[in-house]
Amino acid sequence: MAKLNITTAVATLALLGGTLGASADENAKLVINGDIEMVTRTKAPDHVPFDEIRSGWTFRTEETQVLQMDDFDNPGMIFVDQAIDNWNTVEGSEGKSCASCHQDAESSMQGVRAVYPKWNETAGEVRTLAMQVNDCRENQMGAKPYKYDGGDMAAMEALISVQSRGMPVNVAIDGPVSETWEQGKEIYYTRYGQLELSCANCHEDNYDNMIRADHLSQGQINGFPTYRLKNAKLNTAHARFKGCVRDTRAETFSAGSPEFVALELYVASRGNGLSVEGPSVRN
């Protein structure tokens, strides 16, 4: 089964003086800094086989939820600051930084997160945000690529995501991406590993149920990268996919693999209509 982290659960328990963290108010609203209103529940897109899609935020305890409501409480925001430094740092053989081409992330990166992964016509491939960042590093800056699911990449994704916070996820699923989308869908429904569990078994058939100490969500990625209290760092979507596949006692795919790129496209599209939340806070 999922490798559940009892230590974290128990730590939370202790904080609460012995009672299990009250399950969050089903209809709580996520407003960040008293200003950015997030859509955390909305009508499911046609390609999702249930009525309502819900952000992972709606499944967390109130204690975790509040951490995302103010940027001063959101530990993920520290990494956004770090990424601003990287954004402005010249690296590589071409003497450029991200800012050399894209100026201010605040204006140039608005809306970007919401539509990724997306088709890149020139390269003739589906690109995740991480792939695009590394393409810029290698081919525009002459710099080394970031580790696909490493800390620098997660931070850069957070900086880019923040510029789209509150905008609806709007990933295309037809046209040139349709084949990759179908592949991602097939992976989503494949029962992997010795436990023979698919993403759908947990996140479609059993969301809102407890699996040991974990309250199962719909496994949406609108909140990525997420700051997890469990490992105290920013986590990329592919790192989370790896963890979930590993927990089925399966041989995982690697971060950045064609399989996970396809899966990311498919999972992202299941969240079309939810707000971009990254960096979000999860347990």
Partner 1 sequence: MKPFSILAACAGFACVSAIAASAAETAPDNVTHDDYGSVAESLTGTAGDAASGATIMTDRGLGNCIACHEVSALKDAPWHGEVGPTLDGAGDRWTEADLRGIVVNSKMVFDGTIMPAYYKNSGFVRAGDLYTGKAAPADLPPILTAQQVEDVVAFLMTLQD
Bridge partners of 54, per DSSP, are 41
Q: Is 37 labeled as catalytic in the residue annotation? A: no
Which of 68, 9, 15 is CA-nearest to residue 38?
Answer: 68
Distance (Å, whole) CA 29 – CA 23: 14
DSSP letter (8 states) at residue 282: E
Q: In the range 191-250, which residues lie near ligand HEC by CB under 6 A?
A: 197, 199, 201-203, 211, 214, 216-217, 219-221, 223, 226, 240-241, 244-245, 247-248
Q: Which is nearer to ligand HEC, 127 or 282 (CB)?
A: 282
Near partner 1 by CB under 8 A: residue from 23, 103, 206, 231: 206
Number of shown-chain residues binding partner 1 (CB under 8 A)? 32
Instruction: Look at strands 214-215 and 31-32 and give their pairing.
Output: unpaired
x/- site string to ligand HEC, residues 132 to 161, per CB under 6 A?
------------------------------
DSSP state of 205: S
Q: Tell me if 66 contacts partner 1 by CB under 8 A.
A: no
Taking the C-alpha atoms of residue 187 and residue 260, their distance in angstroms, rounded to an integer, is: 9
Phi, psi torsion values for 278, nearest 5 degrees: -65, 145
Task: Report whether the peptide linkage leading into residue 49 is cis, meaning its omega lies within 30 degrees of zero.
Answer: no
CA distance 72 to 206: 34
For position 15 contacting partner 1 by CB under 8 A, the verdict is: no
Q: Is 136 a known ligand-binding residue?
A: yes
Positions that interact with ligand HEC (CB under 6 A): 1-2, 56, 59, 197, 199, 201-203, 211, 214, 216-217, 219-221, 223, 226, 240-241, 244-245, 247-248, 263, 267, 282
Positions that interact with partner 1 (CB under 8 A): 1-4, 6, 9, 190-197, 201, 205-206, 209-213, 216, 242, 245-252
